[in-house]
Amino acid sequence: MVKDLISIIVPVYNGEKGIGTCLDSLIAGDYKNIEIIVVNDGSKDNTKNILEEYKVKDSRIKPFHIENGGVSSVRNYGIEKSEGEFIMFIDGDDTLDKEALAEMYSLMEEDVSFAHFGMRKITEDGKPLDWQKKLKRGVVEGENDIIAAFFRKDIMSTACAKLYRRELIGDTRFDTKFAVGEDELFSFFICKKAKKVALTDSIYYNYIENADSVMRKNFTEKHFQALSVMDVQIENVKDNKALLAEALLADTIRCNELMWKIFDTKKMYEKFDFLRNRMMERKSLYLSSKDITSKEKFLFILLWLMPKLYYNLKLKQNS
């Protein structure tokens, strides 16, 4: 381990269009003591040649070329190859603002497990889109409060936009059996080990919306793996009454999001009853939550008491 060194792990697959912009943003950062571990996941385009050119430009860039195994295996490989006292993840088609690492490093006091900053969506030419996640500046301490903040999305489920201590990650790795939710599960187990989390209201991570990222959003059967990911989390907090309630509420909200996806995309209507039944198991938690709006509670009650009416109304609304 190299003291004060930040290892930035960048997975990339067929990233010839965006990897240069990503690397340029990292090279330009105010904090210079970095290594950039770029793991090429068996790309079939010109990614390999681009990475080798960047390696010549800046010795801090360390490309690795491996057989295709998916983003989880790539990130795990990057962890093994990294040497820094601190670790950060960024996807190969995204960028960081130049101030990001300097501020995150300044927040990493001795007892801070990881520092966390906000995200925004932008177009490929840098124009802002209609989504951003701004965190509330402050500190969250203790396992219960950190996990509760995670379930409430005060700490985001993404593995990116965070600076971790290497010792915090330890032997925690991304679960390769999940195609959806692998970020969330990794973040959950990291939060379970964390003692103190520093949050900043600065937004430094730019999620670039391009044709490939839109394609990745296509609603398919694999998106229901998110519920298996929730099952793992529920199992891990089942002996803590307060955290179990938080987890079950988060699960109900996740089911609701999937149900809306069904109607928005007009796909997989056969999952309706399954999702409804799962949601109804936690109806008292959902209806008593202060974080759920009155409109959302009304729709939930309609789904509970008159599911056929709810179903037909949604069909009509999305027809």
Q: Which residues contact 192 (CB under 8 A, 6 or more apart)?
A: 143, 146, 147, 236
* Cα–Cα dist 272/285, whole Å: 20
**Phi then psi dihedrals of residue 188, to 5 deg:** -60, -50
d(CA 296, CA 286): 10
Distance CA(67)–CA(48), nearest Å, equals: 12
Chain length of the chain? 319
What is the identity of the amino acid at 313? L
272-280 and 241-265 helices cross at what angle (nearest 10)? Answer: 160
Query: What is the identity of the amino acid at 4?
Result: D
State how far the alpha carbon of 178 is from the alpha carbons of 72, 223, 248, in Å: 8, 10, 20
Q: How far apart are CA 139 and CA 195, in angstroms?
A: 10
State which amino acid sits at residue 193: K
- Written as six digits, the tokens of 216 are 């990745």
CA nearest neighbour of 249 among 303, 292, 286? 286
Q: What domains, with CATH codes, occur in the chain? A: 2-216 (3.90.550.10), 221-317 (no CATH)
**Going residue by residue through the chain (319 aa), what tens digit of pLDDT does each one get?**
899 999 999 999 999 999 999 999 999 999 999 999 999 999 999 999 999 999 999 999 999 999 999 999 999 999 999 999 999 999 999 999 999 999 999 999 889 999 999 999 998 877 888 889 999 999 999 999 999 999 999 999 999 999 999 999 999 999 999 988 999 999 999 999 999 999 999 999 999 987 565 445 578 888 999 999 999 999 999 999 999 999 999 999 999 999 988 988 888 889 999 999 999 998 998 999 888 889 889 989 998 999 888 888 877 776 6
Closest CA to 50 of 241, 61, 108: 61
Give the integer Cα–Cα distance in Å for 24 and 90.
Answer: 13
Provide the residue type at 197 as one letter: V
Q: How far apart are CA 175 and CA 119, in angstroms?
A: 24
Query: Nearest 5°: CA angle at 148, between 142 and 152?
Result: 145
Q: Is the pTM of this model over 0.85?
A: yes
Give the separation between CA 271 and CA 249, rounded to whole angstroms: 20
